[in-house]
Amino acid sequence: MKKICMIGSGYVGLVTGACLADFGNQITCVDVAEDKIASLNRGQIPFYEPGLRELVERNKAKKRLAFTTDLPESIRKCEIVFIAVGTPMDKDGAVDLSAVFDVAHTVAENLNGYKIVVNKSTVPVGTGARVRQVIREHTGGKVEFDVVSNPEFLREGSAIGDFMHPDRVVIGTSSTRAMKIMSRIYRPLYLIETPIIRTTLETAELIKYASNAFLATKISFINEVAMLCEQVGADIQVLAKAVGLDGRIGSKFLHAGAGYGGSCFPKDTVGLLKVAEAAGAELKIVKAAVKANEEQRKRMVRKVIQAVGDLAGKTIGVLGLSFKPRTDDVREAPALYIIQDLQKRGAKIRAYDPVAMPNAGRVLDRVTFCDDAYAVCQGADALVFMTEWNEFRELDMTRIKELLIEPVIIDTRNIYDPEQMDNLGFRYVGVGRGKPCQA
Ligand code: UGA
């Protein structure tokens, strides 16, 4: 059992803290936001993540998980400090590290014995070394400590499963003492044969960026091939399946759609480009992936225009507002981008999302939020699917057709079968589903 202080009770900190508590450790989650800590102490989770509330409740009840705003006290009482604070993108696309360095100073001021400082936040290469420098300068080398990079690979919507059954755990440090302690923390995962990559700080930091940039590139690649499918009369769904069955390629992240969004891929691809630029290395492939993603969003707007015609005075129904299903996170959500573009062209929007409407409402203006998918269709000129929530997969399409003014569907996630939609009398537009030439 280790005493751990988790600094930052956002998405990464809270999930990691709750999961490490479940392994039997003593976790104190800290945050500067008093209202967040107060609601966590009342048992309320500030965002939607399946299974997290139960996990937090269970570990709170066992007294393994506590929440506080008292950072100095929490640092002094623990053996390991995890930094899981936000690293937002500034207006130039660079990563804003001010929260990380603020924490490093507070750690230095409260270093009352050997501690490990673990960086969980996604940070540019070299940040761990700078954190070490800040603490060393502040303490004058009087107290021992080590800095570790331990990047997270959690997906929103399935974060607990990803933590408990990861593809790998990455631990980056040059200290054998810290490596031993970190390996102990992850022993429950080692016992289920999770590969543990032990490496340097710098390599660990770059592994995180390279992983996200590769996944983003895979999505942009398949989206561009989808565009080609439309031109030549091929089907991206069949193509992606066949390509993905090659074990060297793999079937995951080959789902063509409206482009990637969220708090990670858009920020991390641009962040990696900045890191590379500063290091004098040009990453042409990542640059192209970012550009292709911007294009993909615009292409979705063009699809709506092609299907509906002039948008002035038209009403468009939108299903799905978050950047993907099973989350209420609307950061960089293609849906929001597309809605705002359609509004600029004079369209009125009716929308529904199972969990993301409160967050979307804080960003969007003049949207009529509805109680369900059918209410969205009432009086709409077309229906646009933006995410693939399970509850959107089995809708009563006969009823949808009756409710819509025109039977037009733009399915940016390829949830429905084009042939079935044609048979039902819809004008159906998917992504990458070209019609074959008739012989
Ligand atoms: C991503 C990574 O998958 C995690 O491994 C990583 O830890 C996390 O970022 C992070 O850096 O913290 P997440 O942003 O939660 O996780 O979401 P993903 O499931 O990766 O989806 C990202 C975007 O790509 C979504 O907009 C999704 O709709 C899109 N996507 C994904 C596709 O368009 N096609 C696909 O085949 C897969």
Instruction: Please list the residues that pair with 323 across neighbouring strands.
Output: none
Tell me if residue 370 is catalytic: no
Q: How far is CA 100 from CA 104, 221, 230, 294, in A?
A: 6, 34, 46, 29
Task: Return the closest-CA partner of residue 263 out of 328, 320, 311.
Answer: 328
Task: Render pLDDT for 106-117 as a digit per residue (tens, 0 to 9).
Answer: 999 999 999 999
Residue nearest to atom 36 of ligand 1 (CA): 253
pLDDT in tens, 55-90: 999 999 999 999 999 999 999 999 999 999 999 888
pLDDT confidence of residue 359: 97
Q: Hey, what domains does the chain have and what are their CATH numbers?
A: 3-199 (3.40.50.720), 234-429 (3.40.50.720)
Specify which residues 66 forms β-bridges with.
28
253 close to ligand 1 (CB < 6 Angstrom): yes
Centre of ligand 1 from the C-alpha of residue 17, in Å? 21
Phi, psi angles (nearest 5°) of residue 7: -95, 115
Residue in 52, 239, 260 to alter for ligand 1 test, most ligand atoms within 8 A of Cβ: 260
Helices 201-232 and 284-308: crossing angle in degrees, nearest 10, is 40
The DSSP H or E segment spanning 409 is: strand 408-411
In this predicted structure, what is the pLDDT of residue 439? 62
* CB of 153 shorter than 6 A to ligand 1: yes
Ligand 1 closest atom vs CA 151: 7
Q: Say if ligand 1 is within 6 A of residue 216 CB.
A: no
Residues listed for the chain: 439
The CB density around residue 125, as the number of other CB atoms within 10 Å, is 20
Count CB atoms within 10 A of the CB of residue 262: 22
Residue 331 alpha carbon to ligand 1 centre in Å: 12
Atom of ligand 1 nearest to the CA of 254: 36
Which pLDDT belongs to residue 417? 96
* Per-residue confidence in pLDDT tens, the chain, 439 aa: 999 999 999 999 999 999 999 999 999 999 999 999 999 999 999 999 999 999 999 999 999 999 999 999 999 999 999 999 999 888 777 889 999 999 999 999 999 999 999 999 999 999 999 999 999 999 988 899 999 999 999 999 999 999 999 999 999 999 999 999 999 999 999 999 999 999 999 999 999 999 999 999 999 999 999 999 999 999 999 999 999 999 999 999 999 999 999 999 999 999 999 999 999 999 999 999 999 999 999 999 999 999 999 999 999 999 999 999 999 999 999 999 999 999 999 999 999 999 999 999 999 999 999 999 999 999 999 999 999 999 999 999 999 999 999 999 999 999 999 999 999 999 999 999 988 776 6
Q: Of all helices (H) and strands (E), which one includes residue 171?
A: strand 169-172
* Choice among 19, 264, 370, 377 that is catalytic: 264
Token code pair at residue 147: 């800095």
Taking the centre of ligand 1 as the mean of its atom positions, its distance from the CA of residue 434, in whole angstroms, is: 26
- Measured between alpha carbons, how far is 119 from 265 in angstroms, rounded to an integer? 19
